[in-house]
Chain A
Amino acid sequence: DVKVTQSSRYLVKRTGEKVFLECVQDMDHENMFWYRQDPGLGLRLIYFSYDVKMKEKGDIPEGYSVSREKKERFSLILESASTNQTSMYLCASSLYGGRENTEAFFGQGTRLTVV
């Protein structure tokens, strides 16, 4: 079974703190993604990575950065947490499929609250 593991289910952080969200996948997938999910807005892509040390901005990258030093690990960093970053964060991974449909597998999510 594919497994995508996020380091925490729940986090509470203070405004201004630097926050690290970790994600590890065990299926040797090339692609990894970070989304946030908010009521009424659905899943919005923050960043994605298609290879080690490669990253591209998604639709809402402001206030976030990412790191992919190893193929299996993709970290999301909130440089200075703010209350509007309170959200559910979902990590996903998928094979590079070229033109083919490839399934994305999600971690269980991290519910982050910034106070």
Chain B
Amino acid sequence: RKEVEQDPGPFNVPEGATVAFNCTYSNSASQSFFWYRQDCRKEPKLLMSVYSSGNEDGRFTAQLNRASQYISLLIRDSKLSDSATYLCVVRFYSSYKLIFGSGTRLLVRP
């Protein structure tokens, strides 16, 4: 079983739609959680960290459910520019390693 699992998609949604991605992790000792965004042929960049109480950044909301070992990303009012691959990232407690999921691809159509 992969340590971090994501639905690869693609999620194909119209502009203005709300879309949500989930990511599950297998190690309960996981401590830090992130969502990264990767545009085609570009490097990954941090979208947002995920905190235990959940957090919001504009149209983006991240949630953490430690009991069920998953994190989620909600995008409201999707824009064409949101089209990208979204990578779920987990860091284990007392470790330097960042473990990446294989990503969920989002396509926002006009």
Contact = CB atoms under 8 A, between A and B. Distances in A.
A41 B44 CA distance: 15
Interface in A25-79: 31, 33, 35, 40-45, 48, 50, 56, 58
Interface stretch (B12-20, B74-82, B92-100): B92-100
B96 A42 contact: no
A52 to B, nearest CB: 14
Interface residues of B, number: 24
Contacts of B99: 45
Name the interface size band of chain A: 20 to 34
Contacts of A107: 43
B42 to A, nearest CB: 8
B46 interface: yes
Nearest to B2: A42
A96 to B, nearest CB: 7
Interface in A56-115: 56, 58, 90, 92, 94, 96-97, 99-104, 106-109
Contacts of A45: 97-99
Given A43-B44, A45-B98, A106-B44, 15 more contacts: A31-B96, A33-B98, A42-B100, A42-B102, A50-B96, A58-B97, A97-B32, A99-B31, A101-B32, A101-B91, A103-B46, A104-B89, A104-B98, A108-B42, A109-B43
9 contacts: A42-B103, A45-B97, A45-B99, A90-B44, A99-B93, A101-B32, A106-B43, A107-B43, A108-B43
